[in-house]
Structure 1
Amino acid sequence: MSPPTPFPRHLAVLLLAFLACILAGNHIAARIAFDQDAGVLLAVLCRSGVTLLALTALVLWQRQTLRPGPGTWPWQLLLGLLITLQSLCLYSAVARIPVALALLVANIFPILLALLTWALGGSPPTRRTALLMALILFGLLFALDVPARLSSHDEVGSGWLLGIGLAFSAACAFASALWVTEHKLSGLRGSLRSMLTMLVVFAATLTAGIAELIPGGFQSPTSTTGWIALGVLALLYCTGFSLLFIYMPRLDMARNTPVMNIEPVATLLLGWLILGQMLNQTQIIGGAIVVGGIVLLTYRKHG
């Protein structure tokens, strides 16, 4: 069976930019739900449940076997638990700090993935990669407004520190998940791997809620707006996640992946338009440095 024909470059770029904006909208909807007292576990359960249904329908339609190869299950379980942790940490960060800021911190995962790959026996980062990592971290200092916070006499809020820590933890979990996917589960078809991952996320989140591991994790929204936001975040996440894996073979991801880094920019704009959240000029410049560095870091030259 011949591989699917890739989309024209301009169409692939437009589709990836559209998907990035959809995923950005998911985070904005999540913040609205959290502002209406929705629990983080409930949000993750809703989005993983809807996405699981969509991916299960896709796998059945493709008539794939539901049994991964021998020795796969432990790694598949680990992947699902890592994505669960990433989801919980990122949504918890979104509930505490401006959404765009949480996404900027979480999007340093390419740096962490490069370092993790090196630590586990892979090639060390090249000089170019190391310089770009330093540039990203430099930009992140300004995106987080660290100089102003250090020079201020006001005490740094614990909520801000916790939010940044959670976003960083989400980046660590996602980098680890990508390493597992690339080195241990690359033989699995993308749609089946994604379905099994969502199954683990749904089961783990449900278990955590029933065991009350996170106080208030299953708390219902206190208004109709909160329920609508939960529905929107589940729909947007399911749409973005499913379309990405359906069309991935035709998107030339090795060449076009940097386009997905428009997500923090889209989040910044949506956060301003919908939530009234706005970063100051220094933070915007720092954010631009971070996004530009990540684009260059993930860019690969093609002949």
Structure 2
Amino acid sequence: MLSNRLTLILVTAITPLIWGTTYLVTTELLPPNRPLLAAVIRALPAGLLLVAITRTLPRGSWWWRSLVLGTLNIGAFFALLFVGAYRLPGGVAATIGAIQPLLVAFLAAGLLKERLSTRKVLAAVAGVFGVSLLVLRADARLDLWGVLAALGGAIVMGFGIVLSKRWTSPAPLLATTGWQLVAGGLVLLPIAYLVEGAPPATLTLANVAGYAYLTLIGSAVAYALWFRGLRSLGPTDATFLGLLSPVVATLLGWLVLGQTLSTAQLLGGLIVLAALVTAQLRRRPPAPKPTVPVLVPAIGRS
């Protein structure tokens, strides 16, 4: 039987596997040039659904904490992510985003007093290198604002991940997830309207299917599993699993879109998987020292 920790890792890994399908769904099913609208629809309806199911509203400090976490994990992250994706080639944006495990490791050491091990730092560096081999192209162009947006997205979500561990909600997990999705969607809503205007007047069946997938699977299911993993695994261990997303996106491009895979990409994928496994290894506790019986001489024995 699988250990409880391994089972938890495998269940949490479902989230980045789902997120890895987002690029394919967005490019093949959604209307073009409406990324912020996709982000709003991905967050707000999913959050409202979870709140309706749990019928639980925040109390006390969790009103402002939900707003902060929702902004960091979803609202600001989605906005910066899409700016970076628009201004940078996908490989550059993914490579910059791959520094998140390293950022979270340092943030967790400072804010949560987690031990910053050399093994995890080296695994994080290897993960960035593996992702760069997997998705980066030699002719990739750089854009200053795009780089800053991609880096900002990794930073704000890194803070959101660490704070999600530091602030443990007394409410059910689905309720806390719903609060964050609603908060993030409400933050994104005016930005999407100002930048992209009103939603399209008509949607095709493919558009509806794509939005439904992002709402139900990409957010409601994925974020519930993600926040569950953060509670139990810890921020650094969970964040390393996010490196699976570019691996899945690359594999889907090969399987569905007919894209080619080079030797360097295959090597990059293997490096990413090795970094993931290395990061999840746990130090064995030192074996207890054998006790040596102390002989006490008998006194007064004839």
Partner of 2:34: 39
> What's the secondary structure of 1:275's corresponding residue?
coil
Distance 1:7 1:289, change over 3 A: closer
Q: What is the SS of the residue equivalent to 1:182?
A: helix
Distance 1:272 1:123 in 2: 39
Distance change in 2, residues 1:174/1:51 (3 Å):
same
Work out the CA distance in 1 between the residues paired with 2:125 and 2:242.
21
The verdict on how the C-alpha distance between 1:178 and 1:98 changes in structure 2, with shifts beyond 3 A counting, is same
Residue of structure 2 equivalent to 1:134: 125
Q: Does 1:179 align with 2:162?
A: yes
Length-normalised TM-score, structure 1: 0.71
Shift of 1:143: 3.8
The one-character-per-residue Cα deviations of 1:189-227 (angstroms, maximum 9, x if unpaired) are 3323212111111211112134x1x3x265539873444
Aligned to 1:244: 225
Larger radius of gyration: 2
Matched-pair contact (CA < 8 Å) for 1:102–1:164: yes
How many angstroms does 1:38 deviate by? 4.1
Distance 1:221 1:19, change over 3 A: farther
Question: Which residue pairs with 2:263 in the alignment?
Answer: 281
State whether structure 2 residue 81 is matched by structure 1 residue 90. yes
**Could you give the per-residue CA deviations for residues 161-181 of structure 1, whole angstroms, max 9, x where no partner exists?**
766654433222211101221
Q: Which residue of structure 2 aligns with residue 26 of structure 1?
A: 22
2:200 is the alignment partner of 1:220: yes
State the alpha-carbon separation in 1 of the partners of residues 176 and 108 from structure 2. Answer: 21
The aligned amino acid for 1:139 is G
Alignment partner of 1:73 out of 51, 57, 63: 63
**Alpha-carbon distance change, 7 to 137 in structure 1, aligned in 2, over 3 angstroms:** closer
The higher relative CO (CA closer than 8 Å, separation ≥ 6) is in 1
How far apart, CA to CA, are the structure 1 residues paired with 2:89 and 2:267? 16
CA RMSD of aligned residues (A): 3.9
Task: Return the match for 2:141 from 134, 139, 157.
Answer: 157
TM-score by length of 2: 0.72
- Say whether residues 1:58 and 2:53 are aligned partners: yes
SS state of the match for residue 186, structure 1? coil
**1:140 Cα deviation (Å)?**
4.4
Contact 1:99 1:268 in 2 (8 A): no
Residue in structure 2 matched with residue 192 of structure 1 by the alignment: 175
Matched-pair contact (CA < 8 Å) for 1:26–1:234: no
What CA distance in whole angstroms lies between the structure 2 residues aligned with 1:244 and 1:266? 18
Residue identity opposite 1:47 in structure 2: R
Bigger shift: residues 47-56 or 236-245: 236-245
Q: Name the stretch that deviates more: 187-196 or 13-22.
A: 13-22
* Cα-to-partner distance string for 1:69-103 (whole Å, 9 max, x where unaligned): 3x443333221111211122334445566767755
Q: How many residues align?
A: 278
Question: 2:184 aligns to what?
Answer: 201
- Paired with 2:90 and 2:96, the residues of 1 have a C-alpha distance of 10
For residues 220-245 of structure 1, the C-alpha deviation after alignment (integer angstroms, 9 at most, x for no partner) is: 39873444433332232135326526
1:271-296 CA distance string (max 9 Å, x none): 22233444533234234323432442
- Structure 2 unpaired stretches of 5+: 286-302
Unaligned runs of 5+ in 1: 1-5, 150-155
Which letter does structure 2 place at the counterpart of 1:126? S
Contact 1:55-1:191 at 8 Å conserved across structures = yes
Correspondence for 1:234 among 215, 222, 241: 215
Equivalent position amino acid for 1:87 in 2:
F
Provide the rounded CA distance (Å) in 1 between the counterparts of 2:249 and 2:201: 23
Tell me the percent identity.
23
Corresponding residue SS for 1:283:
helix
Label 1:207 to 1:266 Cα distance change in 2 as closer, same or farther (>3 A): same
Q: Which residue of 2 aligns with 1:48?
A: 43
Residue 141 of structure 2 aligns to which amino acid in structure 1?
G
